[in-house]
Amino acid sequence: MNAQAVVILPIALPLATMVMLLLSLKSIPAQKLIGVVGSALLLLSTATLAWLVDRDGILVLQAGNWPAPFGITLVADRLSSIMVLLAGLMVFAVSVYSLASVDNSRVRFGFHPLIQLLLMGVCGAFLTGDLFNLYVWFEVMLIASFVLLTLGGERGQLEGAIKYVTLNLISSAVFLAAIGVIYAATGTLNMADLALKLRSFPNEGTVSVLSMLFLIAFGTKAAVFPLFFWLPASYHTPPVAVSAIFAGLLTKVGVYSLIRAFTLLFVTDLEFTHNLLLLIAGLTMVTGVLGAMAQNEVRRILSFHIVSQIGYMVMGLALFTPLALAGTVFYIIHHIVVKTNLFLIGGVVEQRFRTGRLERIGGLYRSAPVLATVFFLSAMSLAGVPPLSGFFAKLTLIRGGLEAERYAIVVAALVVSLLTLFSMTKIWSEAFWKPPPGDAVTDVSSRNRSRTGRACLYGPTILLASITVGIGVMAGPVMNASMATAEQLLDQNAYINAVLPDGPTGQVPAVSRERRSP
């Protein structure tokens, strides 16, 4: 098997796993076994891909051997390979966690196949090098997430789903319209080819309109200000395993697309686009964290923090220096691990007390010291306390901001960091330190849970918490990888040459060009 074929594995493996899961839908043990084994294989394949990309540089697979820009291109550069690796890691952790946390009726209605379908969409979006293909992967991911969100049909789930579905469909419609306009303007949808054609595009106004259309489409998926309202309205409603994978991966697909669009395609008018991104980043951070402070339920607080942290990622992109982009990449790595873990821990808390409302829970420091430790590590990392992963991520971003002399955003980032610490401390003191309130319901069944059940709940959280600590301790290598990723992102020619080894598509005869220049 040659190296290129590995690029398709993160898409093909979830598909194969999903088919097998659908064939064995009647047997719950088979569902659980195949789900976990499939996720483990996915993790393995993504790790292989990341290793290969690190060794050989950008890997390109032309589907069906149709040369770009005519066929569908799959591209794995450093950013893509890091993203799919994180996706593989998260789905593995969540699959194991779901063994003990997702009820059998949800498993019977296809929880595991849907998770695999979701992952296929997510990995496809990370790996594709074609805009329309990206739209299709978005839709694959969305339809899987719609069903996962509503699976079980509880009141809150249905209500949250209406908002989630509506806003995501609007964003898809905008994305589709943007694809139509960009095709009309340039006659191609291959990202590398687009990057070339947009460089020398005569009409600046058209490019600005296009960049804004994509900003709205991807910004809604990434939940940036002021397009984030679907997120806090829906993420706290489904089962925890579902929220955790959503929190870790879905908004990051939007962020990834933003990074791709604004490092590869729309880099001609930095003054306008990237300054706007910087403003959005600041507002996203601040509104997200203020929203979180007003909440009193574990998962609602965490949902608002996702919004706030998306701001940090966009900040690095907006500053558009190697250091700041490296900060963004580092932040994404840190954020996906920590955020998923916090949701998983929040899920254990909710299972114990049958609620996530802070005034009705407490005493966990005494009754669950392991849980308290992993929560403390993740929460402090999220707030950016050294020597955990969040500290280095924020440090890099802030250094990037200072170097670029954008002091306002640096101040915003620091203040938001402090407020994050405040709201993590709130969860800590309410859920862990305060004695349990008199009327607290403790779920007896969770106390008597079997050893394997407990291992399934705690194992993934401990794994992710140790990764957080690991990123902090091994910040050097992670930083080097982020820096290399940032440099690769800023070197558009490397991407273009990898996809289009024969140079731009110059052979198109005048006849078919003519129509494009009315």
Residue ranges in contact with other proteins by CB under 8 A: 132, 135-136, 139, 142-143, 146-147, 150, 153, 155-156, 158-163, 165-166, 169-170, 172-174, 176-177, 179-181, 183-184, 232-234, 236-237, 291, 294-295, 300, 304, 509, 511-512, 514-516
- State in angstroms the smallest separation of the CB of 511 from other proteins: 6
Residue number with CB closer to other proteins (304 or 458): 304
Closest distance of CB 189 from other proteins, Å:
8
Query: Encoding tokens for residue 307?
Result: 């919004």
Instruction: Please say which residue, 32 or 360, places its beta carbon nearer to other proteins.
Output: 360
The Cα–Cα gap between 200 and 242 comes to 44
The residue among 141 and 315 lying less far from other proteins, judged by its C-beta, is 141
User: How many CB atoms neighbour CB 509 within 10 A?
Assistant: 7
Segments in 320-450 forming alpha helices (H): 322-353, 364-367, 369-383, 389-403, 407-427, 444-447
Cβ atoms of 67 and 508 within 8 Å: the answer is no
Minimum distance from CB of 431 to other proteins (Å)?
19
**Least distance CB 476 / other proteins (angstroms):** 40
d(CA 311, CA 229): 14
User: What DSSP letter does each residue of 16-35 carry, written as one string?
Assistant: HHHHHHHHTTT-HHHHHHHH
Helix (H) or strand (E) holding 210: helix 204-222
Nearer to other proteins, 77 or 297 (CB): 297
Q: Which is nearer to other proteins, 181 or 462 (CB)?
A: 181
Nearest distance, CB of residue 141 and other proteins, angstroms: 12
Residue 272 neighbours by CB under 8 Å, 6+ apart: 208
Give whichever of 55 and 515 is closer to other proteins, judged by the CB atom. Answer: 515
Q: How far is the CB of 70 from other proteins (least distance, A)?
A: 10
Nearer to other proteins, 142 or 380 (CB): 142
Q: Which helix (H) or strand (E) holds 60?
A: strand 59-62
Nearer to other proteins, 5 or 169 (CB): 169
Task: Report d(CA 317, CA 401) in Å as an integer.
Answer: 11
Phi, psi of 77 (to 5 degrees): -100, -170
SS (H, E, C) 427-450: HHHHHHHCCCCCCCCCCHHHHCCC
Shortest Cβ 144–other proteins spacing (Å): 11
Q: How many CB atoms lie within 10 A of CB 408?
A: 11
The least CB distance from residue 233 to other proteins, in Å, is 5
What torsion, rounded to 10 degrees, do the Cα atoms 473, 477, 482, 485 define?
Answer: -160
Question: Taking phi first (over 0 means left), then psi (-120 to 50 degrees means alpha), and beta for anything else, what does residue 376 get?
Answer: alpha
Residue 250 CB, shortest distance to other proteins, in Å, is 16
Peptide bond into 226 cis (omega under 30): yes
Query: Which of 476/518 has CB closer to other proteins?
Result: 518
